[in-house]
Amino acid sequence: MTKQDIIQWLKEEDEDRLKKLWRQADKVRQENVGDEVHLRGLIEFSNYCIRRCGYCGLTADNKDVQRYRMSADEIIACAHEAVQYDYGTVVLQSGEDYGIKRDWLTNVVRCIKTETPLAVTLSVGERSYDDLKTWKEAGADRYLLRFETANQQLYDYIHPSLPNKISDRFEILRQLRNLGYEVGSGVMLGIPGQTYDSLADDLLLFQHLDLDMIGVGPFIPHPDTRLGKEGIPWEVDDREQVPNTELMTYKAVALTRILRPDANIPSTTALATLNSREGRELGLSRGANIVMPNMTPPEYRLLYEIYPAKACIDETAKQCHLCMKGRIYSIGRDIGVGQGGRVRRAS
């Protein structure tokens, strides 16, 4: 698929033509990763963050956030609950919190790997090589770090670097691959200033990076952020601005599946936020094969507000589990067993 083909699909509005895209993506998904939907239990264990991203409600600039860190015992208890629900993976996610020390998280990872059969995915932002290496040696299996956009001007504006430290997520992704992690990344759709040309470059980049997991989701700014209150300080032709819509998200999921047939691709919480009735199901029918039920205890879940009105915010882990199972079965798909890592196609 050429860059021009991708741009044409991103701009496509004809329902009949889009049905062809959905069918193609679903066929590629079925042929390469099968009908199983793997469930990965999400534990949002800290909402502290040192970064000042222009869209995220956890930004250090947001003084109205009630900050928390879960204890190691609380996290490990969530992992044991995930085993009860037959999940194959837990995803430990936080803001970029340097109060989370290397040795502390090493102990948490080691305990989960010792006491459960779970794969452990980390999503804790830009950390040092020594941190990443130590956590891999402790048993961490996967690492998620979205590059959001490869447009450097746009990335620098929405995600400014820390003082005296250049943010280079592509270098970190390379380090993760060399350390032996399964590597996940992805982009936001509809960032102010993001053009169709730029997004097409991002989707093509998925192939070059050889990612094991790829997440694409809509730009949903928190109202208490720069981009929640204002746009970008340069102009983009309205005809070339990518919209942050539900439809655009499905297009990006489908195109990602076609471009990267054997990758694990989630149908995200953000999709469920845009369409609570069937957003996740439509994502699964248009290329996705992963969902991430939330294991975070409700008293913390309410405080992990990266954007407003996030789906499933008032559910318990058990309620989320039962809901996910029902949704998956309702579309005729199976629930995956085991850790559900990427199965690479023979070259």
- Range of weakest confidence among 11-20, 206-215, 219-228, 307-316: 307-316
Assigned domain for 341 exists: no
Assigned domain for 229 exists: yes
- Range of weakest confidence among 80-84, 169-173, 298-302, 339-343: 339-343
Assigned domain for 345 exists: no
pLDDT band of 308, cuts 50, 70, 90:
confident
The reported pLDDT for the residue numbered 343 is 72
Instruction: State the average pLDDT over residues 103-124.
Output: 98
Cα–Cα distances (Å) from 108 to 48, 83, 128, 173, 326, in that order, read 18, 16, 18, 23, 31
What contacts 24+ positions apart, CB below 8 Å, involve 112-117? Answer: 112/75, 112/76, 112/79, 112/139, 113/138, 113/139, 115/76, 115/79, 115/80, 116/79, 116/80, 116/82, 116/83, 117/83, 117/88, 117/339
Q: Rounded to an integer, what distance in angstroms lies between the CA atom of residue 187 and that of residue 202?
A: 7
Instruction: State the average pLDDT over residues 49-67.
Output: 95
The reported pLDDT for the residue numbered 345 is 63
**pLDDT tens for residues 64-99?**
999 999 999 999 999 999 999 999 999 999 999 999
Question: What is the percent of the chain with per-residue pLDDT over 70, rounded to a whole number?
Answer: 99
Q: Rounded to an integer, what distance in angstroms lies between the CA atom of residue 254 and that of residue 288?
A: 8
Whether the per-residue pLDDT at 347 is higher than 50: the answer is no
Assigned domain for 162 exists: yes
Which CATH number goes with the domain that contains 182? 3.20.20.70
Assigned domain for 347 exists: no
**pLDDT tens for residues 125-143?**
999 999 999 999 999 999 9
Whether the per-residue pLDDT at 222 is higher than 80: the answer is yes
Q: Indicate the number of domains in the chain.
A: 1
Whether the per-residue pLDDT at 319 is higher than 50: the answer is yes
Six-digit token string for 203: 């989707």
Instruction: State the average pLDDT over residues 110-129.
Output: 97
Q: Please give the mean pLDDT across all residues of the chain.
A: 95
Residue 30's CB is within 10 A of a number of other CB atoms, namely 12
Q: Rounded to an integer, what distance in angstroms lies between the CA atom of residue 285 and that of residue 283?
A: 5
The reported pLDDT for the residue numbered 89 is 97
Question: What is the percent of the chain with per-residue pLDDT over 90, rounded to a whole number?
Answer: 88
pTM here? 0.96
Greater confidence (315 vs 47) lies with 47
Instruction: State the average pLDDT over residues 49-68.
Output: 96
Whether the per-residue pLDDT at 253 is higher than 60: the answer is yes
Assigned domain for 14 exists: yes
Burial of 202 (0-12, 13-18, 19+ CB in 10 A): buried
Containing domain of residue 300, as a range?
3-331
The reported pLDDT for the residue numbered 346 is 53
Six-digit token string for 316: 């318990």
Is residue 195 within 8 A of residue 236, CB to CB? The reply is: yes
